[in-house]
Amino acid sequence: MRTAFISLSFLLAGSLMVPAIAHTPASKKKVATTTQKGKILPMKEYIDQLMAKMTLQEKIGQLNLMVAGDITTGGALNTQVGGDIAKGNMGGVFNIKGLDKIKALQDIAIKNSRLGIPLLVGMDVIHGYETMFPIPLALSCSWDTEAMKKVGEVSAKEASAAGINWTYSPMVDIALDARWGRISEGNGEDPYLSGVMGAALTQGYQGADMRTEEILRADRIMACLKHFALYGAVESGKEYNTVDMSRIRMMNQYLPPYEAVVKAGVGSVMSSFNLIDYTPATANHWMMTDVLRKQWGFKGFVVTDYASIAEILNHGTAKDLKEASEQALLAGTDMDMCSNAFVKHLEQSVAEGKVTEEDINTACRRILEAKYKLGLFSNPYRYCNAKRNKTDIYSAENRQIARDVAAETFVLLKNEGNLLPLKKQGKIALIGPLADTRNNIAGTWSVAQAPEKYTTIKEAMEKALDGKATLLYAQGSNIWRDRELQKNGEQGKSIAWGDEVKMKNEALQIAKEADVIVCAMGETADMSGECASRTNLEMPDVQQELLAELAKTGKPVVLLNFAGRPTVLSWEKEHIPAIMNVWFGGSEVGDALCDVIFGDKVPSGKLTTSMPKTTGQEPLYYNHQNTGRPVPDDNQKFAKFASNCLDVSNGPLYPFGYGLSYTTFEYGDLKLSSHEVNMDDWKITATINVKNTGSRDADEIVQLYIRDMVASISRPVKELKGFQRIHLAAGESREICFDITPEMLKFYNAELKHVIEPGDFQIMVGGNSKEVKTQNLTVKKHP
Ligand code: BGC
């Protein structure tokens, strides 16, 4: 291996030792900029030295990011990507699995390119690498920030052991419309929760605030906040659709989670596909520069989403790719993912004076800074550690963490007669198309998954029952009656296709023999995620028909609902005694489910999205405005000339924050340390007694909501402002305190100023957004 990075040829410059940098490609001498003690120079000096040696086209090359494609280790140089890297036309590659392949590309960058600048190597490590955690929406239902941090740490540990140094996560797009498939990739509908969870995940990935010069540990990777911004607001939940939103709404409801992740020190940001104020996000200067950099102080680099610069043409706001790339760069975009636009056109744009070399320097520097903080200039191979590659991926330790975290994400929606947990006895019938699939359980965006290593639900149950009970199994149904429809949601992760009647009969046969029926039904992994919008959120046809037949047997039925979004479970709520939303629980979901189903662990997940009664209610969210003619949720009668629908009452089937346990919790009265404060510097405490009134030790998620009763602009009926995940032993009670601070009462007013206005507020605490204890607080004007 070349050691050119610690070159011995120095020139003296001031007090620093500066390396001689060869200018001729023939000599292939690389940059090495070290101090007298052989340590790498401070970041600014290092990058100054390096950039002084770069040609304009080499600088532009750093702004280019491409998919690595299918390369072989021996033939990497002969591929398009390999050739581009050698020419210095590539700043990074992404979504490539395999240490050898990544090392082969890094080798080209180091040995074959003129300046030997190492590559960023990205991947959509969205909820784990090979050890897969539950999908992000499920993770958010844990309301467990420590768990989120762990998810980030383990994901980074595995990815960095496989050559990856950059992940395209966290995604904190607020999604209010469950028809949108990508609701599965975020933290649900609440801006505060989404920000807190996204920040924790970022800290886990990076282990450092990348606004500083700190070099990341070799088992940490750079995070990428996405999709900036407002992607979750696509009209009617249709993928890549138009977004149109007031600035007031952006500021109060959609932007806070991105800001929280920026403040957590995320190293990079990905621009979104959608329009913002009728300009594509990638070309939106106000969002990419004024808000992100000037207002929030973001210091890292902005990468586009996949081919977003090229898509500017389809949006109709640039006449050709050259103009689109100029717009993107000038807006504040630094790196071009897969449009090949910057490398093709920016040199010409500089020649024409459309952009300046200084604009390119700025973007290039930001990317080089990220490489510096990733330690790549000290050791370009620090993420290519063959030993770690063997020990750190899919290890027993990582899998145990994933199993524990998964158990926290299941949301128990209904448990009539305490049907769950099941006893390990008698005969259990396991039925459904998700019960014995290996490649679907990890969920959407599982780029590096290794399904051959995973245990299906059926296999896990057989192991858990260990001969104590008999497990009967039948697939029972396809996903959909229509083969094509099923394929749309499979995307290669196929579920065995069978004869509908035969499968149903087999299921009914074992149901007859069984004491209890457990159904593993719902969506496939890719019925949510990117480009997986649905217009009907009910259980797919054949599955619901089978479920109805099974319910008719009179045997107790437990429904494990697999879903990447809130689905409609109105029929199921009426007819099925026990329902648990299990989302997609990752590689260890089989064991995690058994832990909960058989009672070794107690479910504690709570919804982070409202679950609708019908699809037509979407977008549905708890923190809505009141309207001029409000009608309470679940009003029995339709109210003419009021804000409700003819055919379904207002409100969700299951509200935001909801989730049952195997125990019960009782909330005492809410107390405030003061009911009246003067504006400015104050802090009061809200206290509530929470008691575990059941017989199991368990976790509860205590939630704090606030409503601003009268303000200069209409404010939501309630907003989450805090939460605590607490553990209470059976019978134990505890005083839970929340500090209420002026910050919590602030909002962006019509002038987009972040203000607190005096007046009355309701402070609410409870176990979900609907059942709360309330007290009033008055903030008085200055006398
Ligand atoms: C998605 C991003 C993803 C990127 C790279 C895009 O299609 O929108 O979320 O990070 O591809 O794979």
Three-state DSSP class for 441?
A: coil
Contact (Cβ atoms closer than 8 angstroms) between residue 397 and residue 556: no
Catalytic residue from among 305, 595, 699, 708: 305
What per-residue confidence (pLDDT) applies to 505? 98
Q: What is the mean pLDDT of residues 707-735?
A: 98
Confidence class of residue 5 from pLDDT cuts 50, 70 and 90?
very low
Binding site membership of 304 for ligand 1 (Cβ less than 6 Å): no
Which of 228, 303, 530 maximizes ligand 1 atoms within 8 Å of its Cβ, making it the mutation to test the pocket?
A: 530
What per-residue confidence (pLDDT) applies to 70? 82
Binding site membership of 584 for ligand 1 (Cβ less than 6 Å): no
Please tell me the pTM assigned to this model.
0.95
CB atoms within 10 A of CB 522: 25
Binding site membership of 697 for ligand 1 (Cβ less than 6 Å): no
Task: Examine the residue annotation and report whether 305 is marked as an active-site residue of this protein.
Answer: yes
Contact (Cβ atoms closer than 8 angstroms) between residue 148 and residue 201: yes
Q: Any idea which residue has 């790549």 for tokens?
A: 376
The token pair at 715 is 């404010």
d(CA 457, CA 309): 43
Ligand 1 atom closest to Cα of residue 224 = 10
Rounded to 10 deg, the angle between the 341-351 and 321-331 helix axes is 80
Domain ranges of the chain: 48-390, 410-604, 665-780
Ligand 1 atom closest to Cα of residue 95 = 12
Please report, to the nearest 10 degrees, the dihedral formed by the alpha carbons of residues 140, 727, 659, 714 taken in order. -70
Cβ neighbours of residue 748 under 8 Å, at least 6 residues apart? 248, 251, 252, 754, 755
Does residue 314 carry a pLDDT above 70?
A: yes
Which of 305, 311, 526 maximizes ligand 1 atoms within 8 Å of its Cβ, making it the mutation to test the pocket?
A: 305
| Among 511, 654, 633, CA closest to 572 | 654
* Rounded percentage of the chain residues whose pLDDT exceeds 90: 93
Q: Are strands 120-123 and 166-167 parallel, antiparallel or unpaired?
A: parallel
428-452 per-position pLDDT tens digit? 999 999 999 999 999 999 999 999 9
d(CA 374, CA 363): 17
Cβ neighbours of residue 52 under 8 Å, at least 6 residues apart? none
Confidence class of residue 186 from pLDDT cuts 50, 70 and 90?
very high
Q: Mean of the per-residue pLDDT values for the chain?
A: 95
C-alpha distances in Å from residue 751, one per residue of 247, 258, 543:
10, 21, 51
Does residue 19 carry a pLDDT above 70?
A: no
What per-residue confidence (pLDDT) applies to 29? 45
Q: What is the mean pLDDT of residues 408-416?
A: 99
Distance 622 CA to ligand 1 centre (A): 29
What per-residue confidence (pLDDT) applies to 9? 29
Binding site membership of 306 for ligand 1 (Cβ less than 6 Å): yes
350-399 per-position pLDDT tens digit? 999 999 999 999 999 999 999 999 999 999 999 999 999 999 999 999 99
Binding site membership of 124 for ligand 1 (Cβ less than 6 Å): yes
d(CA 78, CA 70): 12
Contact (Cβ atoms closer than 8 angstroms) between residue 763 and residue 777: yes
CB atoms within 10 A of CB 33: 23
358-367 per-position pLDDT tens digit? 999 999 999 9
Q: Any idea which residue has 């109709």 for tokens?
A: 316
Superfamily in which the 410-604 domain is placed by CATH: Glycoside hydrolase family 3 C-terminal domain (3.40.50.1700)
Looking at domain 48-390, which CATH architecture does it have? Alpha-Beta Barrel (3.20)
What per-residue confidence (pLDDT) applies to 625? 98
Which of 121, 168, 445 maximizes ligand 1 atoms within 8 Å of its Cβ, making it the mutation to test the pocket?
A: 168
Q: Whose CA is nearest to atom 11 of ligand 1?
A: 306
C-alpha distances in Å from residue 672, one per residue of 150, 378, 734, 778:
34, 55, 16, 11
Q: What is the mean pLDDT of residues 236-254?
A: 98
The topology (CATH level 3) of 665-780 is: Immunoglobulin-like (2.60.40)
Alpha helices in 514-655 (DSSP H): 541-552, 570-575, 589-597
Cβ neighbours of residue 5 under 8 Å, at least 6 residues apart? 30, 31, 32, 110, 116, 377, 378, 379, 380
